[in-house]
C-alpha cells in the first residue's frame, strides 16, 4: 500500500504494508541510516525520531499511524534551533564514544530543549531515561544538555 509521509520537510511516498515500522521505512526503504536499530521493542531509544516535535520510538511506530504528522530525523535536526544547540554542545563535550546510541540521544535531548528551554535535572532525567548508552556517556550527555540550555539564556 502506498503512504506519503512528510520527512524532514519533504513528502516521501513509500509502498509498504501499513504495519511496517517507521524505522524500517527510514533505513531500508529510504536509505536514511542515521536512525539506528537497537532493540526493536521501544526499550533502548536508539531509533528515536520526532513526530510533530515529540521524541518517538520509530521501531514501534507503524507507517499507517503517521498520517499528516511531520517526521524529523537526525539528518535534519541540525536545521532546528534546539537541535543546532544540542549538536554544538555535543561537540563541545565530545559526548559520543562508539556513537551508536547518539542519534537517538540527540533526538531526545533536542525534543526536550525545544519544549523546555531550561530543564531541571529531573526534567533531563525524565526525558533521557529511555535512551540507553552501553558506553556510559550519561555524564557528558547531561553536561551537554545543560550547556545547550544555558545558550537559551540570552
Among 56, 82, 96, 144, binds ligand FES (CB under 6 A): 96
Compute the least distance from the CB of residue 41 to ligand FES, in Å: 6
108 touches ligand FES by CB under 6 A: no
27, 50, 57, 93: which one binds ligand FES (CB under 6 A): 57
Q: Residue 34 or 117: which CB sits closer to ligand FES?
A: 34
44, 66, 109, 128: residue in contact with ligand FES (rule CB under 6 A):
44
- Strand (E) positions, 16-146? 48-51, 54-57, 70-72
Adjacency order of strands within the sheet including 54-57: 10-15, 2-7, 70-72, 48-51, 54-57
Burial letters 5-33, b for 16+ CB under 10 A, else e: bbbbeeebebebeeebbbbbbbbeeeebe
Which residues here bind ligand FES, judged by CB under 6 A? 37-40, 42-47, 57, 59, 96-102, 133-135, 137
Amino acid at each position: 500500500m502506498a503512504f506519503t509521509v512528510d520527512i524532514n520537510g519533504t513528502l516521501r511516498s513509500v509502498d509498504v504494508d501499513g504495519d511496517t515500522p517507521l524505522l524500517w521505512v527510514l533505513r531500508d526503504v529510504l536509505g536514511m541510516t542515521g536512525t539506528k536499530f537497537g532493540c526493536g521493542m521501544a526499550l533502548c531509544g536508539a531509533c528515536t525520531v520526532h513526530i510533530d516535535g515529540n521524541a518517538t520510538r520509530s521501531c514501534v511506530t507503524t507507517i499507517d499511524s503517521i498520517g499528516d504528522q511531520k517526521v524529523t530525523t537526525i539528518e535534519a535536526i541540525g536545521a532546528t534551533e534546539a537541535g543546532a544547540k544540542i549538536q554544538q554542545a555535543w561537540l563541545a563535550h565530545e559526548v559520543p564514544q562508539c556513537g551508536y546510541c547518539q542519534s537517538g540521544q540527540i533526538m531526545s535531548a533536542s525534543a526536550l530543549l525545544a519544549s523546555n528551554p531550561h530543564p531541571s535535572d529531573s526534567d533531563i532525567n525524565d526525558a533521557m531515561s529511555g535512551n540507553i548508552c552501553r558506553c556510559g556517556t550519561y555524564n557528558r550527555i547531561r553536561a551537554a544538555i545543560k550547556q545547550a540550555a544555558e545558550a537559551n539564556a540570552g
